[in-house]
Amino acid sequence: MGSDTTVRTTRHDAILEIAIDRPEQRNAIDKATAEALGAAIIELEQDDALVVGVLTGTGGGFCAGMDLGAFARGELPLTERGFAGMTIGRPGKPVIAAIEGFALAGGLELALACDLIVAARDARLGIPEVKRGLVAAGGALRRLPERLPLGVATELALTGDPLDVDRAQQLGLVNHVSAPGAALADALALAARIAANGPLAVAASHEILRAGVDWTEEQFWAEQGRIAGPVLLSRDAREGAVAFKEKRAPVWERR
């Protein structure tokens, strides 16, 4: 287990659990926490033994966004990768947000920087910045319209009112709805399903999904060939086929 004063990391084989640990501040992000989160994301990206991350919060809540007390003192919770060290420079490996209690303001923007969301049924999701005279500038105004109908995203942004988790799942924002208290366990189970697959194939699929939204049709096929081609020729691809024929679990070599 790794730790910082505000962020804890725990390894579960190929999964890195990253926990924001400021429960007394509702896991709000100050400068030190932004830097610690950014360091945890870099650890996930740079360690070849890690395939997927799970981002969560301690104390029954995910994250309440920017620490307004620190902001009032002139502190900005930013790194070169944006708010909390991950909203502009999004993680280069898949990350699942495990939400209990609340993901509000920058907290929801952290979840939107992740690839998948598991949320407890009673969690509150929203971007209430306009109620404080602020703008949700950590990525929500781009990523909510990517994941929700524009009218729904607009209502969330302009009213600042929360979105019900069951409706969020129906609209595709939330992947899995958990019983209260079970979001982290369910997210880790989902992460284990991802980590069991070929790591080269997971990484290539993630890269194509993330970048492909901005490609033309012609670019898509060219870039997909560039990224996926080496995977097709890898030892892991052959191992996957042989293991299937032999009716056994594959043993990945990451090459």
pLDDT in tens, 171-215: 999 999 999 999 999 999 999 999 999 999 999 999 999 999 889
* Active-site residue (options: 17, 35, 100, 109): 109
> Same domain, yes or no, for 107 and 216?
no
Q: What is the mean pLDDT of residues 4-18?
A: 94
129 is catalytic: yes
CB within 8 Å of 215: residues ≥ 6 apart: 223
Q: Is residue 255 part of a domain?
A: no
Question: Residues 22-56: pLDDT tens digits?
Answer: 999 999 999 999 999 999 999 999 999 999 999 99
> Is pLDDT above 70 for 217?
yes
Close Cβ partners of 49 (under 8 Å, ≥ 6 residues apart): 14
Query: Residue 228: which domain range?
Result: 199-245
Residue 76: per-residue pLDDT: 87
Same domain, 70 and 165: yes
- Same domain? For 138 and 209 the reply is no
Query: Do residues 91 and 41 make contact, with C-beta atoms less than 8 angstroms apart?
Result: yes
Q: Which two tokens stand for residue 100?
A: 């209990």
pLDDT class of 91 with cuts at 50, 70, 90? very high
CATH number reported for the structural domain that contains residue 167 in this entry: 3.90.226.10
Residue with tokens 């033309």: 216
Please indicate whether residue 109 is annotated as part of the active site: yes
Q: Where are the alpha helices (DSSP H) in the chain?
A: 31-46, 68-72, 106-113, 140-147, 150-159, 165-170, 183-195, 199-212, 217-232, 235-245
pTM for the whole structure: 0.94
Instruction: Name the catalytic one among 129, 155, 223, 253.
Output: 129
